[in-house]
Chain A
Amino acid sequence: NAGVTQTPKFQVLKTGQSMTLQCAQDMNHNSMYWYRQDPGMGLRLIYYSASEGTTDKGEVPNGYNVSRLNKREFSLRLESAAPSQTSVYFCASSETGLGGYTFGSGTRLTVV
């Protein structure tokens, strides 16, 4: 059981570069989420997709875009990376959003 798979695990970007973080789940979950984790801040929700074909903003969406490619995959795009986007990014999925969430192992992103 792979659960939630995130790629890449590590990335260094220069300011202004773009990149896409990939996330895939194999549990047939309906809901998927992107969080960022900064020291001392806990996890903050960037975007989520309650079901295939829908996406909504979370608490900190500025500078990001998402695509729910199909039921399995939910990608996060940084169009023009900024140092403030240096963080650890976690993808998660849940059957409905009400139950427990399954998290990926994270992507550690540094923007220089």
Chain B
Amino acid sequence: SQQGEEDPQALSIQEGENATMNCSYKTSINNLQWYRQNSGRGLVHLILIRSNEREKHSGRLRVTLDTSKKSSSLLITASRAADTASYFCATVYSGAGSYQLTFGKGTKLSVIP
């Protein structure tokens, strides 16, 4: 079954606004990652946050992680039309003998110029 669930499923904003996407997961994790997928393309890794971290920044991206609530958020500041894509959170289980990435269903972001 899918580990993560993103919220909202779709988000439409104006260029220059901030976009916030949320993710909830079910089991304890080693880390949580966010990926972007442009239409018809492969996924691109954006940022990774470990279970002992609470916040991480990369350029216009800010990710938070609350392990007590099993949730994460991705904030994209000053959005651009080029940010239009689907965004997925994905988790790596902790305690497994080997590691796999389990994905949520994604948030489709539209940035209107």
Which residues of A are at the interface with B, using a C-beta cutoff of 8 A? 4, 31, 33, 35, 40-45, 48, 50, 54, 56, 58-59, 90, 92, 94, 96-106
- Residues of B within 8 Å of A98, CB to CB, are 30-31, 92, 99
Q: Which of A4, A58, A94, A104 has the most CB of B within 10 A?
A: A94
Per DSSP, are chain B's interface residues mostly helix, strand or loop, or mixed? strand
- Residues of B within 8 Å of A99, CB to CB, are 48
Which residues of B are at the interface with A, using a C-beta cutoff of 8 A? 1-2, 30-31, 33, 35, 41-45, 48, 88, 90, 92, 98-106
Please count the residue pairs between chain A and chain B whose beta carbons lie under 8 angstroms apart in the complex: 67
Which 8 interchain pairs have the tightest Cβ spacing?
Answer: A97-B99, A100-B45, A50-B98, A103-B42, A42-B105, A43-B103, A103-B43, A42-B103
